[in-house]
Amino acid sequence: MGIRNFLILVLIPLALFFSCQPERNFIEDSDAKLEFTLDTLFFDTVFTTIGTATKAFKVKNPHKNFIKIDEIELAGGAFSVFRINVDGTSGLRFSDLDLAPNDSMYVFVEATLDPNGSDEILRIQDSIVFQANGNIQDVDLVAWGQDVHMIGGEIIDQSTTWPADKPYLIIDYLYVDSLASLTMDPGVKVHLHKDAFIYVAGSLQVNGNQEEPVWFGGDRLEEFYDQIPGQWGVIYFSGSSFNNRISNTEIHNGTIGILISATPESGLMPDLHIDNTLINRMSSSGVYALNAAVSGSNLVVGDCGGSSLALIYGGDYDFTHCTFANYWPNGFSNRQLPAVLLRDYFVTYDENDIPVLYPDGEFENASFSNSIIYGSHSMELLIESYNNLQLNYLFDYCLTRIHEDSLSYLEDPLFTNIINNEEPLFDSIPVVYELDSLSPAIDAGLPDHATEFPTDLNGNSRLDDLAPDLGAYEWIGGAG
Residue 27 placed within a domain: no
Q: Which helix (H) or strand (E) holds 7?
A: helix 3-20
Examine the domain organization and report whether 383 and 236 are in the same domain. Answer: yes
Residues 71-92 have a mean pLDDT of 93
Residue 21 placed within a domain: no
Examine the domain organization and report whether 364 and 342 are in the same domain. Answer: yes
What secondary structure does DSSP assign to 332-355, as a single string? T----S-SEEEES-EEEE-TTS-E
Q: How many domains does the chain have?
A: 2
pLDDT of residue 90: 93
- CATH number of the CATH domain containing 69: 2.60.40.10
Q: Which residues pair with 110 in a beta bridge?
A: 83
Q: How confident is the model at residue 2 (pLDDT cuts 50, 70, 90)?
A: low
Examine the domain organization and report whether 220 and 303 are in the same domain. Answer: yes
Examine the domain organization and report whether 288 and 426 are in the same domain. Answer: yes
Examine the domain organization and report whether 171 and 95 are in the same domain. Answer: no
Examine the domain organization and report whether 311 and 251 are in the same domain. Answer: yes
Examine the domain organization and report whether 349 and 223 are in the same domain. Answer: yes
Residues 54-81 have a mean pLDDT of 94
How much is the pTM? 0.81
Q: List pLDDT tens digits, range 232-272.
A: 999 999 999 999 999 999 999 999 999 999 999 999 999 99
Q: How confident is the model at residue 17 (pLDDT cuts 50, 70, 90)?
A: very low
pLDDT of residue 7: 46
Task: Say whether pLDDT at 9 is over 90.
Answer: no
pLDDT of residue 124: 84
Reference 222, options 166, 143, 279, 164; nearest CA is: 143
Q: List pLDDT tens digits, range 120-169.
A: 777 888 999 999 999 999 999 988 788 888 898 999 999 999 999 989 99
Single out the residue in 109, 129, 145 at which a domain terminates.
Answer: 145
Kindly compute the dihedral angle of the four CA atoms of residues 216, 277, 253, 169, in this order, to the nearest 10 degrees. 0
Please say whether the beta carbons of 119 and 87 come within 8 A: no
Residue 380 placed within a domain: yes
Mean predicted lDDT score pLDDT of the chain: 91
Examine the domain organization and report whether 122 and 201 are in the same domain. Answer: no
Task: Say whether pLDDT at 109 is over 80.
Answer: yes
Alpha-carbon distance of 303 to 286, in angstroms, equals: 8
Residue 5 placed within a domain: no
Q: Which residues contact 285 (CB under 8 A, 6 or more apart)?
A: 256, 257, 259, 304, 306, 307, 308, 309, 310
Please say whether the beta carbons of 274 and 252 come within 8 A: no
Lowest mean pLDDT among 128-142, 235-249, 355-369, 421-435: 421-435
Examine the domain organization and report whether 131 and 179 are in the same domain. Answer: no
Examine the domain organization and report whether 348 and 377 are in the same domain. Answer: yes
Residues 452-479 have a mean pLDDT of 92
Examine the domain organization and report whether 374 and 433 are in the same domain. Answer: yes
**Cβ atoms within 10 Å, residue 227:** 15
Residue 161 placed within a domain: yes
Examine the domain organization and report whether 446 and 324 are in the same domain. Answer: yes
Q: Which of 19 and 63 is assigned the larger pLDDT?
A: 63
Q: List pLDDT tens digits, range 272-325.
A: 999 999 999 999 999 999 999 999 999 999 999 999 999 999 999 999 999 999
Task: Say whether pLDDT at 210 is over 70.
Answer: yes
Residue 203 placed within a domain: yes
Give the whole-number percent of the chain exceeding pLDDT 90.
76
- Domain containing 79: what range? 35-145
Alpha-carbon distance of 85 to 74, in angstroms, equals: 10
Give the whole-number percent of the chain exceeding pLDDT 70.
93
pLDDT of residue 408: 87
Q: Which of 357 and 112 is assigned the larger pLDDT?
A: 357
Peptide bond into 430 cis (omega under 30): yes
